[in-house]
Amino acid sequence: MEYKKLNNNEKLPFVSYGVYEIDPKDTKNAVLNALNRGYTAIDGAQVYYNEKEVGQAINESEIPREDIFLTSKNWVSNSGYDKTIKAVNKSLDDLQTDYIDLLLIHQPFGDYYGSYRALQDLQKDGSVLSIGVSNFDSARLVDLTMNFDIVPQVNQVETTPYFQQYEANEIMNKLGVAHQSWGPLSEGLDGLFKKPVLLEIAEKYDKSPVQVIFRWLVDRDIPFSCRSVKTERMEENIDIFDFKLNKNDIKKIKELDEGESPFNDYNDPETAEEFNSEII
């Protein structure tokens, strides 16, 4: 699997298998299936409530632990120095592993300064190899980097044809923070897979519109996390390394950019309330 080198020289595979909203009873088989289909990275989180099952799958698979890139995310209700240390140790237990490859602060809410201090210490003791944040807009990201010694390795933010994040990408590149995309398909909202521009490019390369979206991210040097529980789609979603978009294709896809998320507005008080209300 092709990868992006992080600012600490760790290697983040371009494709991660996301386990958001996969029922715990289906998670072990889904992850085993993904690993057997060639996925080398699993993108999980405490708040997905399926870390035990991810751990079981990794443990039962024939693949050596060091060949799997494992991500977890620390939830808002576990923010603050002490709670983060405790929560990450629980993730390590649930995932049945001695280390997590990438630990992200899941949301820019709660005491994330305390959490980031904890992540720096966990990284120093080897419990986590890389640290970062998720859903941090550019101002929050700049603020964080100006107040800590360790520049986050990753910022995982929603990045899709509808929300292309060019400005945020420029700032992340300037800071040396790797931009990772979540939810790249916008769950197929508003007929995304039937947009003429994607159909036209897909036809040219004999690929599907979904593969064009994933390749568009790779060609922008943006690793991503995607999810399907269906074997055929799992295979389709990683079969993207035998073609390449040109500059003109990428320019054409810009016409789909709406400049904002169809799901979350991080400046909406209701978003802050919603994420602070989920206690895990």
State both tokens at 26.
Answer: 């289906």
Task: Report the SS3 class of residue 129.
Answer: strand
Q: How large is the C-alpha radius of gyration of the chain?
A: 18
Which of 13, 18, 110, 223 is in the footprint of ligand NAP by CB under 6 A?
Answer: 18
Q: By CB under 6 A, tell whether 134 contacts ligand NAP.
A: yes
Q: By CB under 6 A, tell whether 167 contacts ligand NAP.
A: no
Cβ neighbour number for residue 90 with a 10 Å cutoff: 13
* Residues comprising the chain, all counted: 280
Minimum gap (Å) between residue 37 Cβ and ligand NAP: 13
By C-beta, is 187 or 203 nearer to ligand NAP? 187
Q: How far apart are CA 189 and CA 206, in angstroms?
A: 23
Q: By CB under 6 A, tell whether 190 contacts ligand NAP.
A: no
Residues 199-228 that bind ligand NAP (CB under 6 A): 210, 225-228
With 0-12 / 13-18 / 19 or more C-beta atoms within 10 angstroms meaning exposed / middle / buried, residue 205 is middle
Handedness of CA 269, 271, 272, 274 (dihedral sign): positive
Stretch that binds ligand NAP, among 80-88, 142-150, 176-184, 247-255 (CB under 6 A): 176-184
159, amino acid identity: T
Stretch that binds ligand NAP, among 88-96, 108-116, 140-148, 185-193 (CB under 6 A): 185-193
Which of 90, 233, 244, 251 is in the footprint of ligand NAP by CB under 6 A?
Answer: 233
The answer to whether residue 48 is catalytic is: yes
State both tokens at 153.
Answer: 């390795």
Binding site for ligand NAP (CB under 6 A): 18-20, 43, 106, 134-135, 156, 182-185, 187-188, 210, 225-230, 233, 236-237
Q: Would you name the residues annotated as active-site residues? A: 48
